[in-house]
């Protein structure tokens, strides 16, 4: 059993450097105007600037158990309970990184779960060496990995950015990356309250969502199985034949976000636009051979010496 604390310092934060506190571009109170003067800053529009102001906190309790009753059987189990917070999303992923919602107070306004914040993960592995199998000879091995993980978070944002055109805006009461975190019923209430203020014309506002915010389970469940046979050749040479099945039971898994650990850098995550009727719905699943992707099988031949 291990307790882990990790502190990351001087990570990247993106914020608009050419706005004042009311998001007026090239206004006298903008950091760029203060630094270089009004004549210079007024030549530019929004200026996203990356600075080393992020702080990343990770805490985890990791437990593991191994049992090897004999040469023919190995059992391993591990469970991790963790929490990760930072001030801005990592600058990776196809969905891109938007400047923080408050460039003057992001340490409070934008503090929230990291894209990689996975609260619980359980893994169980088995390795069986049955020895000789009747009619099939020896050298056989059967191994399996079962994993269960709770969802990664996703951000809930407004469709339109702030007045500068690039800074993110979130509905009132919703902080960064609160999808899949806290009470989703309360979160849905905040989204519906915001939607009631988004009107095309007087009296013609967005209707409330009459469903669960996240109707699909976002937990990731996979079972991988490998069967192999080792064939001795001449001298130290051996040939291993193996078949592997990933997500053997074809459990449906969805990607929470498109950042690191969210199923691949080229996969979009859950719809987080508050004005969209599809907010809270996943937009894709992991690809073939990805962690949690659809059932896939591969055959391999391996020469060992």
Please write the tens of the pLDDT for every residue from 185-194: 999 999 999 9
How many angstroms from the chain centroid is the CA of residue 34?
A: 37
pLDDT of residue 134: 76
Q: What percent of the chain has pLDDT over 90?
A: 74
Residue 96 has pLDDT above 70, yes or no: no
Got the DSSP string for 18-75? Answer: SB-TT--BT-TTSHHHHHH-HHHHTT-S--EEEEEEEEEEEEEEEEEEEEEEETTEEE
Distance CA 34, CA 31 (A): 5
Residue 164 has pLDDT above 60, yes or no: yes
Is residue 305 within 8 A of residue 237, CB to CB? The reply is yes
pLDDT of residue 103: 94
- Write down the mean pLDDT value for the chain: 90
pTM of the model: 0.85
Residue-wise pLDDT for 69-84, tens only, equals: 888 899 999 999 999 9
Domains of the chain, residue spans:
2-304
Place of tokens 């001795």: 232
Residue 261 has pLDDT above 70, yes or no: no
């Amino acid at each position: 059993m291990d307790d882990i604390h990790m502190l990351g310092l001087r990570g990247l934060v993106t914020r608009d450097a050419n706005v004042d506190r009311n998001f007026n571009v090239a206004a006298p109170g903008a950091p760029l105007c203060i630094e270089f003067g009004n004549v210079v800053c007024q030549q530019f529009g929004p200026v996203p600037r990356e600075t080393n102001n992020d702080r990343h906190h990770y805490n985890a309790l990791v437990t593991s158990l191994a049992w090897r009753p004999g040469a023919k059987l190995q059992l391993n189990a591990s469970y991790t309970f963790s929490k990760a917070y930072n001030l801005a999303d990592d600058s990776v992923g196809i969905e891109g990184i938007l400047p923080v919602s408050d460039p003057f107070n992001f340490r409070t306004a934008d503090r929230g779960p990291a894209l990689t914040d996975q609260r619980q993960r359980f893994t169980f592995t088995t390795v069986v060496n049955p020895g000789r199998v009747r009619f099939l000879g020896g050298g056989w091995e059967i191994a399996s990995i079962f994993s269960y993980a709770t969802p990664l978070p996703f951000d809930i944002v407004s469709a339109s950015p702030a007045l500068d055109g690039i800074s993110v805006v979130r509905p009132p009461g919703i902080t960064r990356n609160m999808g899949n975190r806290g009470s989703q019923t309360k979160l849905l209430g905040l989204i519906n309250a915001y939607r009631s203020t988004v009107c095309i014309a007087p009296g013609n506002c967005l209707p409330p969502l009459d469903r669960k915010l996240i109707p699909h389970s976002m937990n990731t469940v996979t079972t991988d199985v490998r069967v192999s046979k080792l064939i001795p050749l001449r001298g130290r040479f051996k040939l291993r034949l193996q078949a592997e099945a990933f997500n053997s039971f074809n459990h449906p898994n969805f990607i929470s976000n498109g950042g690191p650990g969210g199923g691949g850098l080229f996969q979009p995550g859950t719809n987080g636009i508050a004005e969209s009727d599809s907010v809270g719905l996943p937009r894709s699943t992991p690809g073939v051979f990805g962690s949690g992707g659809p059932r896939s099988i591969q055959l391999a031949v391996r020469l060992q010496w």
